[in-house]
Structure 1
């Protein structure tokens, strides 16, 4: 049930990291969302952006598990309250890992530890490809992909 993806991005780990965590990077690569977090291990985070409840909809939320700038970001993930009634019971783990490879960066995403029968699993399986492609494009060009969303 684990979802694993690898992308090679023509940028430094610092540039990819900026796309992953900065408001300007996430707005472009995560469809208008920003991450609200201290990024301290054990602290909460939320991806907030346009959705069911307007421009400040909590898309997903959870707890920061590991944070090493330019290398690893890992967190638990729950669907936002407006998307699933039992959102607190639904969980998975997301881990982004960055490694320099030659003059580029290897971005690895692992989405695992899914709650049994998690209703977002199939959706995540399809949409991670789009989001990771968008992270690559934003980092390399500064522009978002037009995915019709």
Structure 2
């Protein structure tokens, strides 16, 4: 199974990148989370923020597969421990790619290599639309979308 999304964003690659990688950006676009990582290939990463285990809830964790600023960010991920007791066995790959198209930036997200019967697949297919729409809005306007939560 592969989830694939493409968005055209009226912002520079740097602005789009910052919306989904920088602490200021991820707090806005990933519901208060920041990425805890050195951003070196082969090293660990985690999305940490408010959730079931308090302000330091690990929502997703894994290993950096590729990291080239303003071009590609890819990681192998597992759901956080508070989501599924067998979280270590569950895995998928997430890859963000940026490219300049005219005066805008094309953001492509591919979420693939899902473990068979992964319980987060259905949830991810809906939540990516919200996250990517938020990234587009933040990169273009600096404001977040109000999902009414």
Range class of TM-score, shorter chain: over 0.9
In structure 2, the partner of 1:104 is 104
List, as ranges, runs of 4+ consecutive aligned residues in structure 1 with deviation greater than 3 Å: none
Aligned equivalent of 1:14: 14
- SS across alignment from 1:26: helix
Which consecutive residues of structure 1, in runs of 5 or more, have no partner in the other structure? none
**Deviation of the 1:105 alpha carbon:** 0.2
Partner of 1:32: 32
Alignment deviations for residues 102-143 of structure 1 (CA, whole Å, 9 cap, x no partner):
110000000000000000000001110000000000111111
Name the CA distance, whole Å, in 2 between partners of 1:39 and 1:66.
Answer: 9
> What is the rounded CA distance, in whole Å, between the counterparts of 1:105 and 1:38 in structure 2?
25
Match of 1:71 in 2: 71
Deviations 1:65-95 (A, max 9, x none): 0001100000001000011100000000000
1:21 Cα deviation from its structure 2 partner: 0.8
- Classify the secondary structure of the residue corresponding to 1:64: strand
Residue number in structure 2 paired with 1:126:
126
Counterparts of 1:116 and 1:46 in 2: how far apart (Å)?
22
Q: Which sections of structure 2, spanning at least 5 residues, go unmatched?
A: none
Indicate the SS of the match to 1:143: coil
Aligned-pair distance for 1:148? Answer: 2.4
TM-score (norm 2): 0.99
Worse-matched range after superposition: 12-21 or 117-126: 12-21
Q: May I ask how many residue pairs the two structures share in their alignment? A: 149
Which residue is equivalent to 1:81? Answer: 81
TM-score by length of 1: 0.99
